[in-house]
Every structure is written in structure tokens, then in C-alpha cells.
Amino acid sequence: MKKLDAFDSIVVIIMLPFATIFSAWVTCQLWGWFIVPIFHLDPLSMIQALGLGLIIGYFAHQYVKQSLDMGDWIVFLWVKPAVFLIVGWFYHLFM
């Protein structure tokens, strides 16, 4: 696993806000599909989803000692939320 070079680091920094917004949007969708109908709570706004993600990340963060390469960052920032969205969409079809 190689360290990120300067260009890759800049790309990750530029991608981070967009990936964060995408992750918050995924959280809003999953919340709307599962939490709202089951617990009769209000849907989340994007800001609430960002805050919820921040809190969960704070409590559930796991330290990774080795550095991540560009492919790992792409999976972490984009693929993981997309997979959760697809699986959640499939599950909500059966509700």
C-alpha cells in the first residue's frame, strides 16, 4: 500500500466535501425508508444528516494505522455509501 502523492492528496481533499454531502443524502434516504415509518419520526434534513454522521463517526471511529491509497479512499468515500443505498433500497421494497 503506497502513500498518497501530492496530486492524490489534493484530489481526496477536493472530493471530501462532495462525498460528505453524498453520504448525508444517503443517510436521509435510509432514514426516510426505515426510521420514519417504523418510529414515526420526522425526516432528516441534510444538515441533520451531516450532524448525525458526525456524531456517529465520533463515537464509532476506528483508527487505521497504515495509510490508505487512492483506491481505498474512493471505496471509503463513494462506494461504501452507494452500496448501503442500494442494499437499503432493496430492503425497503419489502416493507
- pTM, whole model, 2 decimals? 0.87
Res 8 pLDDT > 90: no
Give me the pLDDT at residue 89, please.
97
pLDDT tens digit sequence for 19-75? 999 999 999 999 999 999 999 999 999 999 999 999 998 898 777 667 778 888 888
Helices (H), 1-95: 6-30, 36-39, 46-60, 70-74, 80-92
83 confidence band (pLDDT: 50, 70, 90): very high
Distances (CA, A) of 3 to 6, 11, 72: 10, 14, 11
Which pLDDT band, with edges at 50, 70 and 90, does 79 fall under? Answer: very high
Give the amino acid at 37: P
Among 23, 38, 33, which Cα is nearest to 75's?
A: 23
pLDDT digits (tens, 9 = 90+) for 11-20: 889 999 999 9
What pLDDT is attached to residue 2?
A: 65
